[in-house]
Amino acid sequence: WCTREGRVAKPCTTATYVEYVAELIESGKSPNSISVAMSAIRSWMPDDKKPGTQEARGMLNEYKKEWARRVGVKKAPA
């Protein structure tokens, strides 16, 4: 994704991180898959070069609500 978008992969800036998370949301990935990708990216970065998470985490939290409304699991009748 970084190569295609002309972004530097390492170190990942907060702006790149936010754009990538937005791309994953727009592509319809599950919230859990996005969360795993976010963790993997931050784990891959040196401790002093980790991207900020506040904006991306907020986007993911809003998307989780939308996802639950769209594809939420319905309980079977008792």
Interval 40-61 mean pLDDT: 96
Interval 32-47 mean pLDDT: 96
The band of 56, judged by pLDDT with boundaries at 50, 70 and 90, is very high
Q: Residue 75: what pLDDT?
A: 67
The band of 16, judged by pLDDT with boundaries at 50, 70 and 90, is very high
Q: Residue 70: what pLDDT?
A: 86
Contacts 24+ apart (CB under 8 A), 30-36: 30/67, 31/60, 31/63, 31/64, 31/67, 34/60, 34/63, 35/60
User: Percent of the chain beyond pLDDT 70?
Assistant: 91
Q: Where are the domains of the chain?
A: 2-57
Query: What b/e readout covers 22-34, taking b as 16+ CB neighbours within 10 angstroms?
Result: eebbeeebebeeb
The band of 51, judged by pLDDT with boundaries at 50, 70 and 90, is very high
Q: Is the per-residue pLDDT at 78 higher than 80?
A: no
